[in-house]
Structures are given as C-alpha cells and as structure tokens.
Amino acid sequence: MDEQTTRSRNEHLKIQELVAHVHTGRIRVPEFQRSFRWGTEDVLALFDSILRGYPFGSLLLWKRAAPATPIRIGAIRIDAPAVADALWVVDGQQRITSLVNAVDPEASAADERFRIVYSLDQHRFISTRDQKTSLGIPLPALFDLSRAFAWLQENPDAAGHAAEIQRVTALLRDVEVSASVIEQADEHVLREVFDRINSAGKRLRGSEIFDAIHSATNSDSEQSVSIGAIVDRLDQATDFGRFDEEIVYQAILVRRHPDITRDAHIEFNPERSANTPFANESKSDAYAQTESALERVVRFLQVRAGIPHVTFVPFRFHLLVLTRFFALFRTPSPRNLELLDRWFWRSTAAASVLGYTGSTGNIRTLAALVEAGDESGSVQRLLDATRPSDPVPTPRLDRFRTNHSSGKVVLAALWARGPVNPSTGNPLSHSDLAAYLIGETSAAPVALEIFPRRLLGDHASSAANRAIAVIDRDDFAGGLHKAPLDTLLLDEEMLMLIDEGNYSLFLEKRMQYLENFLREFLDERTGIGFEVTPPLSEFNLDDEDDRTSPSSKQEDLWGEQ
C-alpha cells in the first residue's frame, strides 16, 4: 500500500475566485475529463439555482503541479504558466466552465451557450435569444458593479430597477461554491474517484469513462493520448469527418477482443491482456495502434471502397470490423484487399437479407471472424457470411433517406460517377465534402434535392431527385448546361425536363437510369460471377504430384495450368 495517505479538505470558493484561478492558469482540466457538454438550458438552470438559493453541487479538485501549456476552458483560452499548486478538476468541470464563461464578457460573446441576461421585468435569468425587451442586463455586467452602473447609464429606462440590480449583483458576488481539494493522491486514486462519481449529473458515455480510467494525462509523448485527441487528429489527417468518440472507444476494445460489451475497467489487467493478440502492449500503445488502424481503415474506405466521408458509412460494424482487421494485418495482400472490398459492399447491400442491423451482436459475431495470424482465412470467413453466390438486392429508390444504409448505397454510387461542381466544372473532392459536412451526422447537406419537395407530392422521397453537390439548388441548375452531365447521372433529355420544370417525367426517366446504374454498380462492387479464392500465396504450388494438395485446388479455381 502507498505510504502516502490521500488527504482532502473542504473549501468554499467564490465565483470571482474561480474566474481568477482560470485566468491565471491555476485551474486545469485533466486529459481524461470529457469536453464541455452543457447547453444553454443547463447553464440557465445553474444560475437559476444560485438565484433561488438552491444547492447546485460541489467540486472535486486535485492539487498538484501543472506545466506551462495553452489551455482552453469553454470559450476562454489562456497561455498558462507553470503552476506549483494547480487545481485539477476531477468533478465539476461543467459547473466551473459555465460559471466563469457566463460572467466573462468576451467568452459569453463568443459562445451563445453562455450568453445570458437577467430579465428585470421577469426577475429571472434568460437566454439572449429569448429576450423580448430591453430590460435585460447581460450577466457579465450584472456580475461587476462598475459595469452594472455603466449599463444603467446606457439604459436609463431601467433606472427604476437599480436596487434589484444591486441585490442580484451582491448575490452573485457572495455565493460560494463548495469544493473538496485532494492532496497527496496518485493518479490511479484520482481515476478511481472519478469513475465512482461519474453518475452525478449527466452520465458519462462509455468512451468518457474509458478515457477517465485508461488514457494518459502526463505522457512524455508529444501527442495527447486520449479518445478526443485521436478524433481530432484523424479528422485533420484524412478529410473523412469526425468520428463519434464512442466509435473510437469501441475500436480500442474490438481491436483487442470481439466483445465490445465487456467490462472496460479492467481492460489492461494482465489476465485480460493475456487473452488478446496484444498481450504485452501498454495503454498508450493500445491508443496509438488503434489510431493507426483507424487511419488505415479510412484510407481503405476512401480509396478502395469508394466511401468519401464518415457520413456515407452504412453501419458502425464496418468501421469496427475493419479496425480489427487492419490492426491485426497492417499490410494485407492486394487480393485480400480486393475481397475485403467485396465483403464491405455485400454486407451493406444485403444487410436486410443477412439480418445486419449494426447491433453489438452483429459486431461481436463479425469481428470474431477476424483472427490473428490468419489474414486470408479472416477475409474468407467474412465473405462466406454474406452468402457470396447470391446476388445482392437493389435498394428501393422511392424511400430515400440519407441516414439509412440503403440511402448510403445510393450516395456512394452517385459518388462513384465522379460528380463535378456545375459552377466550376471541377470534380468534387473528399475535402469539398468534408468542408460542407462539418458538424453533420448525415450526408443530407450534400444530397441535393434537384426539385423542391413541396412540388413532388408522393414522390418527395425519391432518390431520383438527388444529386451530390456542395452548392444550392439554383446554382446547381444554372451550371448544368456547361457540366459533364454523365458525372451527375443526368443526360440532355433530363436537363431539358429540369429547364421545363417537368419534375414528374424527369423523376420517371432518372429513376430508371439510376436503377440500371445501381444494378451495374452493385454487381461490379460485390463481384458477382467472380471467384472469391484467396491469394496465390495461400497455395502450395511446389508439390505438383499431390492431387489432394491445395495447389491442385488452386489450379481448378483459377484455371491456371
């Protein structure tokens, strides 16, 4: 047992003290903490509790040294100096961030979540977007008496509320936040404390708890070792869009074992690690190697499978199964990459037939088919699970949804045509889509509706009314006369119908065109009529006399003499 006993003491900090600690760099947020997740309503509820004298929770702080580094707390950015007695936030980050940002003029102006006023006629805090009259004093002005007097001079109609302003200002200045400050504890203890109290407030997601327990906070590496940092770096490196942090968390798990529902608290215990293909790796190695595998997954999807952006990915299991594969096999053979591409498209287009829904059960079953030391066998097992001799169905085109797997098949097929921007004549790139899809969870913003939905009646959901574009409808239509129409799955006759506004006949003709193209696209991508044999290297070609050897089977399958 550690000779140092964990000690804690109770303190009471005023809001202005928290503000000062933040601006001097004394308050720090550990790497394992989640990002700020509260919205305006949460911030309002906090200040309403203060106004009413309700309890609003306490803080848990860890006192230890902190290095000089740029930090960000909400909208406040600081080049923090080295601090010998920094206060690291173990619990209460959402409250501290809300309190100090809402009373800061620059931070509240920069982030709408902190833009709060006190309504003098309603006697309550409200968001600036809900303010109907001028009798609303901004919270930063209310927090500082000199700014409050300046505001009163600029708003003489509020003079009758001077006493009310003074009362609320005094309340904000006098309120104290309870804090437990822990000293002489090691990081393991702090992580355990953090894990035990995670159910307070908004419950943490699995990725956040996993980071709290396992990520590195004081690594000597130049790169931050956390799920959020992985998400940021992959986004910057690939133009593939931002992964949900839960996907990265599950990727860390599935790389080591197919069951992603297991208890993550003991993930790196020796007994657990001994049952993975990576028995001797450190936590930092697991994070780093998962990031590397995910980047190879992205390159495979963009280059091989024709999936330009994360919003085009049909199912979560694709990302996770591929992560396990590329973690176990860093440089697969070209033949296996070709077959893996077929698996991707067969498991997508035939998902309804195969019973694939993206459930954790699907993930566990499919990931278990990928076994260490058996690259070709893993690919063959994945393909066998898709019934490779059966043709895949064509997705329905009358019920297009960008967030459905069938809709993503259509979008990927449209992308495969190499669509151009009609305004410039230039082919669209991955970065064009990424720039247009920042912050989006579906590809809807780039799935342009050629005709307005209100004009289409029963055909409002038709996939035939969609084209991939990063411009608005008017610019798209205006540039079609100089664009290579085949890249947009259009022809001159359809262009004429667009000009005439004849959407009924346009939809009829494009529907047929799209359906024929989709059938050809899927037959090609799923390899209908082609063998699914593994690479030549899997066969022993030296023993020509042994007619039962793999080499003789290879000759039959490949027709090589």
Dist CA 50 CA 56 (whole Å): 7
Given pLDDT bands bounded at 50, 70 and 90, which one contains residue 329? very high
What number of other Cβ atoms are within 10 A of residue 9's Cβ?
Answer: 10
Q: How many CA atoms lie within 13 A of 312 on its CB side?
A: 28
Which residues in 92-131 belong to E strands, given as ranges?
116-119, 124-127
Given pLDDT bands bounded at 50, 70 and 90, which one contains residue 10? confident
pLDDT of residue 82: 94
Report residue 427 as tokens: 């082919």
Dist CA 469 CA 420 (whole Å): 8
Amino acid (one-letter) located at 533:
T
pLDDT score of 152 more than 50: yes
pLDDT score of 374 more than 80: yes
Condensed to tens digits (0 to 9), the pLDDT of residues 515-536 reads 999 999 999 999 887 887 887 6
pLDDT of residue 62: 86
Average pLDDT over residues 321-335: 96
Angle at which helices 245-256 and 206-214 cross, to 10°? 60
Dist CA 138 CA 151 (whole Å): 9
86, 63 contact by CB (below 8 A) = yes
Dist CA 120 CA 162 (whole Å): 10
Condensed to tens digits (0 to 9), the pLDDT of residues 495-516 reads 999 989 898 999 999 999 999 9
Question: How would you label 325-334 residue by residue, b for 16+ Cβ within 10 Å and e otherwise?
Answer: bbbbbeebbe
Average pLDDT over residues 193-210: 56
pLDDT of residue 362: 94
Distances in whole angstroms, Cα of residue 210 to Cα of each of 29, 194, 243, 262: 17, 11, 16, 12
Higher pLDDT, 523 or 35: 523
Given pLDDT bands bounded at 50, 70 and 90, which one contains residue 114? very high
Nearest to 202 by CA among 95, 75, 87: 95
Nearest to 227 by CA among 182, 271, 312, 290: 290
pLDDT of residue 186: 62
Dist CA 298 CA 220 (whole Å): 28
pLDDT of residue 442: 94
Least confident of 99-108, 170-179, 218-227, 291-300: 218-227
Which class for 42: exposed (0-12), middle (13-18), buried (19 or more C-beta within 10 A)?
middle
Given pLDDT bands bounded at 50, 70 and 90, which one contains residue 34? low
pLDDT score of 32 more than 60: no
pLDDT of residue 193: 63
Q: What one-character-per-residue DSSP string does 31-58 give? A: TTSPPP---HHHHHHHHHHHHHT-----
Condensed to tens digits (0 to 9), the pLDDT of residues 169-194 reads 999 999 999 998 888 656 666 666 66
Maximum Cα interatomic distance, the chain, rounded to a whole number of Å: 105
Condensed to tens digits (0 to 9), the pLDDT of residues 377-422 reads 999 999 999 998 888 999 999 999 999 999 999 999 999 999 999 9
Dist CA 200 CA 356 (whole Å): 35
Question: How would you label 268-296 residue by residue, b for 16+ Cβ within 10 Å and e otherwise?
Answer: beeebbeebebeebebbebbbbbbebbbb
pLDDT score of 257 more than 90: yes
Residue linked to tokens 């799209």: 514
* Cα radius of gyration rounded to whole Å, the chain: 29
Q: Domain segments of the chain: what residues?
A: 7-196, 206-384, 405-526
Condensed to tens digits (0 to 9), the pLDDT of residues 273-304 reads 888 999 888 888 999 999 999 999 999 999 99
Angle at which helices 15-23 and 93-102 cross, to 10°? 90
pLDDT score of 47 more than 90: yes
Nearest to 283 by CA among 2, 28, 31, 66: 31
If you average pLDDT over every residue of the chain, what do you get? Answer: 85
Nearest to 526 by CA among 377, 375, 393, 332: 393
Residue 356 CB partners (closer than 8 Å, separation 6+):
315, 317, 347, 362
Dist CA 299 CA 515 (whole Å): 28
pLDDT of residue 219: 43
Dist CA 32 CA 62 (whole Å): 13
pLDDT of residue 386: 94
Dist CA 215 CA 201 (whole Å): 22
pLDDT score of 376 more than 90: yes
Higher pLDDT, 8 or 86: 86
Average pLDDT over residues 76-90: 91
Estimate to the nearest angstrom the gap between the alpha carbon of 190 and the chain centroid: 27
Distances in whole angstroms, Cα of residue 227 to Cα of each of 209, 215, 243, 244, 253: 11, 8, 10, 10, 12
What's the per-residue H, E or C state across 217-235? CCCCCCCCCCHHHHHHHHH
Estimate to the nearest angstrom the gap between the alpha carbon of 418 and the chain centroid: 26
